[in-house]
Chains A and B, each alone.
Chain A
Amino acid sequence: MSQFLMPSLGADMESAILMEWMVKEGDTVTKGQVIAEVETSKGVIEIEVFEDGIVEKLLVEPETECAVGMPLAIIKAGADNTLKAMKKIETQTIVKHNADTSKIEPDKQKKIIEAKEDNIEQEERIKISPVARKRAQELGVDITKLDSKKDVIHLSQIEALGTIKVKAPEAAEKKEETKERDGMRQAIAAAMSRSNTEIPHYYLSTSINMTPALEYLKELNKKRSIEERILPIAMLVRAVVLALKEVPELNGFWQENGHRMSKEIHPGIAIALRKGGLITPALLDAQNMDMYSTMEFLSDLITRTRLGKLRSSEMTKQTITITNLGDLGVESVYGVIYPPQLAIIGFGAIVNAPWAEGDALCVRKVMQATLAGDHRATDGRIGAQFLDKINKFLQNPQELL
């Protein structure tokens, strides 16, 4: 038996709003199953359970703001099912629950209460988070006129309506936007400051001739329909995953003064948001994918990131980061490692460049691949081996399938 706590979905997150339970009491759940949706400044995140079991009790009502670490539910594991033990934990939970709530700063508590009152005021109960409701008021969106076929109204829908149909007074809109961006900005600021203070980075860079890989992809795509087309970035991610299998020292964490390698490869893919800021959701278990499924899952991950619909495991399990600024024309990326990860790989733009082949000079599609590694965990030799593997795979693209 265990408590299911509100997970931390980023260094900045103090609390999130539990929007909806996807399970009910008595349901059997399996590890990795989505049990609830929570709303954060990064969008709606689906949160998952970490173990198999039975949902014994749901401790919070939907639309409640919950601090990180607050118990949300009790999950009974397979074997332990005596009623007595259950009761005991339940009491403990309630006590802890109260303690946790009191830890939230006074003004935040007030906000929670206000939000609750707000909900009661509404005659016909519309499922909408307090944040979204507040935003609706500011933008002048009438939530009763929103699509009632949808189960829950999310902040993004309000914002979409607000920007398209109802123009709010400039000032109010600007203020809110700055505030939202601030949340993410603060998170990035905290993580990157920690990284530069704690992690002794080393940087390596290599030029890769991308012509063989791109030619191979061109031939491959000719035979595939537009829906199945594979993009170069999928091939690059695939090359990283295969190289990490051979050089596993860069995949994992530096934790408790020790180097912990991860068997699973969950590359965080840096996705810049047009409104500003950055999210690096994990492409989970990429070690089990081939090139086609890498493209499929990558496309799905990017779509859901833009829609603000990610899973908690995708926000927390990254074992390495891949950043690609090539679309913006950048040639080399010298990354900052996201702690506690061990490395960040950067891909630049693929450009026509002079290239020596044997004694002849020719023009090839060339890309800079860079690596920033944590020198506490690995040395330049490991980083060099890794970049060399990536290069080898890209020179023999049929091995990437």
Chain B
Amino acid sequence: MTKDEIKSAIIKEILEIAPDIEESEIENDKNIQRSLEIDSFDFLKILTAMNAQVGIEVPEADYSQVDTVEHMVEYFLKRLE
């Protein structure tokens, strides 16, 4: 997967899990949970869905490294290489 593919996969999952969010509201460098009011359940669902796509489980200890869309893309990219 390329960087852009991972990014669009993340955005697609966010929109699917929180259907009342508009794509334009998602900002790459903002905290996903806080800026979009994604609760801990929905955040876990996003990570579960991403695991199904890229085969990488984000352990709880690494949550601070996937707090924004940008960071999450980098996190997966680094581990896919």
| Residues of chain B with a CB closer than 8 A to A163's CB | 22
CB proximity of B58 to chain A, nearest CB, Å: 7
Per-residue CB contact flags for chain A residues 150-161 toward chain B (1 = under 8 Å, else 0) read 000000000010
CB proximity of B37 to chain A, nearest CB, Å: 5
Do A226 and B37 have beta carbons less than 8 Å apart? Answer: no
| Residues of chain A with a CB closer than 8 A to B59's CB | 221-222
Candidate in A160, A218, A226 with the most chain B CB atoms within 10 angstroms: A226
> Which chain B residue shows the least CB distance to A228?
B48
Cβ contact of B39, chosen from A225, A226, A327, cutoff 8 A: A327
Per-residue CB contact flags for chain B residues 60-77 toward chain A (1 = under 8 Å, else 0) read 110000000000000000
B20 within 8 A of A: yes
CB proximity of B23 to chain A, nearest CB, Å: 9
Do B40 and A227 have beta carbons less than 8 Å apart? Answer: no
A335 within 8 A of B: no
Do A231 and B44 have beta carbons less than 8 Å apart? Answer: yes
| Residues of chain B with a CB closer than 8 A to A275's CB | 20
B28 within 8 A of A: no
Do B58 and A274 have beta carbons less than 8 Å apart? Answer: no
Asked whether A229 and B20 contact (CB < 8 A) given A221-B60, A222-B59, the answer is no
> Which chain B residue shows the least CB distance to A218?
B60
Q: How many A-B residue pairs have CB under 8 A?
A: 44
Do B40 and A233 have beta carbons less than 8 Å apart? Answer: yes
Do A160 and B19 have beta carbons less than 8 Å apart? Answer: yes
| Residues of chain A with a CB closer than 8 A to B6's CB | none
CB proximity of A168 to chain B, nearest CB, Å: 15
Question: 8 Å CB contacts to A: which residues of B1-53?
Answer: 18-22, 33-34, 37, 39-42, 44-45, 47-48, 51
Cβ contact of B44, chosen from A218, A222, A229, cutoff 8 A: A229
| Residues of chain A with a CB closer than 8 A to B22's CB | 163
B interface majority secondary structure? helix
| Residues of chain A with a CB closer than 8 A to B37's CB | 272, 274, 327-328
Do A225 and B57 have beta carbons less than 8 Å apart? Answer: yes
What is the bound-complex CA distance between A401 and B52, given in angstroms? Answer: 28
CB proximity of B47 to chain A, nearest CB, Å: 6
| Residues of chain B with a CB closer than 8 A to A229's CB | 44, 60
Do B18 and A231 have beta carbons less than 8 Å apart? Answer: no
> Which chain A residue shows the least CB distance to B56?
A226
Cβ contact of A232, chosen from B33, B34, B40, B61, cutoff 8 A: B40
Do B58 and A299 have beta carbons less than 8 Å apart? Answer: no
What is the bound-complex CA distance between A299 and B45, given in angstroms? Answer: 9
Asked whether A227 and B21 contact (CB < 8 A) given A218-B60, A327-B39, the answer is no
Do B51 and A226 have beta carbons less than 8 Å apart? Answer: yes
Asked whether A226 and B40 contact (CB < 8 A) given A160-B19, A274-B18, the answer is no
CB proximity of B35 to chain A, nearest CB, Å: 12
> Which chain A residue shows the least CB distance to B47?
A226
A400 within 8 A of B: no
Do B47 and A299 have beta carbons less than 8 Å apart? Answer: no
What is the bound-complex CA distance between A273 and B19, given in angstroms? Answer: 11
Cβ contact of B48, chosen from A218, A227, A232, A306, cutoff 8 A: A227
Do A299 and B41 have beta carbons less than 8 Å apart? Answer: yes
Candidate in B18, B33, B37, B47 with the most chain A CB atoms within 10 angstroms: B37
What is the bound-complex CA distance between A222 and B47, given in angstroms? Answer: 15
User: Can you report 27 residue pairs joining A to B where beta carbons are below 8 Å apart?
Assistant: A160-B19, A163-B22, A218-B60, A221-B59, A221-B60, A225-B57, A226-B51, A226-B57, A227-B48, A229-B60, A231-B40, A231-B44, A232-B40, A233-B40, A233-B41, A274-B18, A274-B21, A275-B20, A299-B41, A302-B39, A302-B41, A303-B45, A306-B18, A327-B33, A327-B37, A327-B40, A328-B37
**Residues of B at under 8 Å CB distance from A?**
18-22, 33-34, 37, 39-42, 44-45, 47-48, 51, 57-61
Closest 8 CB pairs of A and B: A226-B57, A327-B39, A274-B20, A302-B41, A226-B51, A231-B40, A226-B48, A274-B37
Extra contacts besides A229-B44, A327-B40 (15): CB < 8 Å: A218-B61, A221-B59, A221-B60, A225-B57, A226-B57, A229-B60, A231-B40, A231-B44, A274-B20, A298-B41, A302-B41, A302-B42, A303-B45, A327-B33, A329-B34
